[in-house]
Amino acid sequence: MSARHEPVLVAEVLQFLRNGPGLYLDATLGDGGHAEALLESESGARLLGADRDPAALDFARERLARFGDRVTLAHATFRELPAAHARIGGEPFTGALLDLGLSSRQIDDARRGMSFMSEGPLDLRMDPSRGESAADRLREITEEQLAWVLETHGDVRGARRLARVLVAEARSGALLTTRDLVATIERALPGRPHPRRLAQVFQALRIWINGEAEDLESVLSWLPSAITAGGIVVTLAYHSGEDRRIKHSLRGRAPSVNPRRLPPTAEPRLPEGPWFELTRKVVTPGHDEEVRNPRARSAKLRAFRRKPA
């Protein structure tokens, strides 16, 4: 059994998220660390806690049991949150937390295949009860599609070369474990092996297998209709692609026109979005937290307040 997951930037999350009594959403409940801190510090808070990982829900259920009927749990992906919210009446949220990425339990459980550091089946699913494993999906994908996955979700250099080798290995039945994947990456890509390169490939495949990018777009589109005026959204992202999606979606996207083609007196404007940004500069862990919890070092926190309708 792996150690309990250490929640990231707890004080900073509460600084923004605490917004008085009401219903809060923890859309990525994990071990329930942020949820526990919120419920302890805000006596009028009630919680809808969701996670796609059944094992995480089991642990959080036990951890949060002392809060009784203040807590409702849901086994749900981001795309399934509207239905979960509707089942409990659809009361607008006072605040919502999206803590993206992996938990320590998922990383440390070799059976999940999430880490290049340990031997295990090449699975990578957040919810092992749904869908196909990475080993199965890699037998079905084309080289072109896989190269796109590696480039888009992992910024992997040599993505096309690696995709060609991975697809060939998968279709031959030689890509079944995390060790198989590591050996293939090191054989396919030139240069000295580096943990960052391995991490980028595992990250890209995990995001693809779990549909994480599509899930994130879905929840960001839904939140304006689910949050009360003055309600708060706090996000924790762990790589630049996720942070970019959050920033662009909640700030409002840049116009598609080329500013150089505009008349001299015109200025390009961002479309008015439904959010005030509370963190113009991203919040990151301090040195003490990084020393205590090295997995926190890549965390990027942003916070937004819902404008009046």
221 and 92 in one domain?
yes
CATH of residue 152's domain is: 1.10.150.170
Residues β-bridged to residue 123 = none
290 and 154 in one domain?
no
E-strand spans in the chain?
22-26, 45-51, 71-75, 93-99, 227-237, 275-277, 300-306
Query: For residue 197, is it within any domain?
Result: yes
Query: For residue 203, is it within any domain?
Result: yes
pLDDT in tens, 31-78: 899 999 999 999 999 999 999 999 999 999 999 999 999 999 999 999
Query: For residue 104, is it within any domain?
Result: no
Last residue of a domain, one of 180, 210, 240: 210
Last residue of a domain, one of 152, 185, 210: 210
Most confident of 18-22, 122-126, 272-276: 18-22
pLDDT at 114 over 60: yes
Transcribe 22-43 into DSSP letters.
Answer: EEEEESS-TTSHHHHHHHHH-T
292 and 204 in one domain?
no
Contact between 137 and 166 under an 8 Å Cβ cutoff? The reply is no
pLDDT in tens, 140-199: 999 999 999 999 999 999 999 999 999 999 999 999 999 999 999 999 988 776 888 999
pTM of the model: 0.87
CATH of residue 58's domain is: 3.40.50.150
Into how many domains does the chain fold? 2
pLDDT of residue 190: 81
Show the domain range for 171: 110-210
Six token digits for residue 209? 């297998």
Strand 71-75's sheet: what is its strand order?
Answer: 71-75, 45-51, 22-26, 93-99, 227-237, 300-306, 275-277
